[in-house]
Amino acid sequence: MSEPTAAATAVQPPSFQDRLKSSVLREGAGLVVMYLVILVAMSLLSPYFLTTRNFINLLLASSTMGIIAMFTTMLMVGGGLDLSVGSTVALVGVIISHSQYTLGIWGAVAVGLIAAIIIGITNGVLVTRVGINALITTLGMFSVVRGLAFVFSGGLTEPMLDPTFGELGRGFVAGIPVPVIVLVIVTIICAIVMKFMRYGRAMYSVGGNATASHLAGLRVQRYQMLAYILSALSAGIAGVLLTSQLGAGAPQAATGLEISVIAAVILGGTSLAGGKGTIAGTLIGVLILGTLTNGMILLGVSAYYQQIAQGFVLLLAVGLDQLRTRSED
């Protein structure tokens, strides 16, 4: 009987898929542990934290960021970036409050969502067709759209007149706030799309290597264009819900929201370089940021210090992304 060859007895190195799954599991476990630590810390610091009412408030406050973050994950996985989402939220609210007198509340909502789609198309054309860098494009759109919100409103907050519209943002179904239900539905849809549908698989490929994806026959520009439209539309939907919650259209609404969204997405494991990220990770990132903000409010932390903390979280998220990228090289 012949001796087994060295090649047969050698331990096979783990495949790329095995290493990727192991990395994802470690990363996901780290996020969960981080969130549990935050929960324990906040519960020890505030006696009001571990209450049903506070958790409902936490989820409600995080719903606007969460809805946008799910579609931002798709965009960033495909190698894109959108800094104009906060401004889009504000503009949609202003359009709704300004148009309600002539178009009726639901006509005004439709116009607001159409405006959001136009913003997404503009971003997509400038990035994919004209070739302007996504950061520069959406940063410029951030200023343009916010400026339009102030121009249309005259810098004033305008109240909503239809009481039924308020139920959209402040209503409950089986004890759960409507915006939270919308967030759950959006999260499930995005998770299914990214994991099982052709569009989701294409976005991972495009974000990983756009040139190779194009040579493989994928319509890279079309996929990226759709991602920008969906990102802006999600901001429009969030704008409708936030306007309903506030009971008014405010040009200064959602200031800094884009930073929170990007921080949550990167903290959840999505790479700034594209090609990597999960909806589940983003959901945990949203919960981490939402819980930190909620806890600081309960502890009476000044809004100025909350802004400092938000900046540190963004730096932490980007730093973690850089460490993950280097470890994979």
pLDDT at residue 17, as a whole number: 47
Average pLDDT for runs of 10 along the chain of length 329: 46 48 57 88 93 94 97 96 97 97 96 98 97 96 97 95 92 94 97 95 94 93 97 98 96 94 92 92 94 93 87 81 70
Q: At 177, phi and psi to the nearest 5?
A: -60, 140
On the 0-12 / 13-18 / 19+ scale of CB atoms within 10 A, 23 is middle
Q: At 99, phi and psi to the nearest 5?
A: -95, -10
pLDDT at residue 1, as a whole number: 46
Length of the chain: 329
pLDDT at residue 21, as a whole number: 47
* CA count, 13 A, side-chain hemisphere, 70: 24
pLDDT at residue 327, as a whole number: 67
SS3 call for 177: strand
pLDDT at residue 329, as a whole number: 60
CA 321 to each of CA 84, 191, 327: distance values in angstroms, whole numbers, following the listed order? 22, 21, 10
| Cα(299)–Cα(239) distance, integer angstroms | 28
pLDDT at residue 133, as a whole number: 96
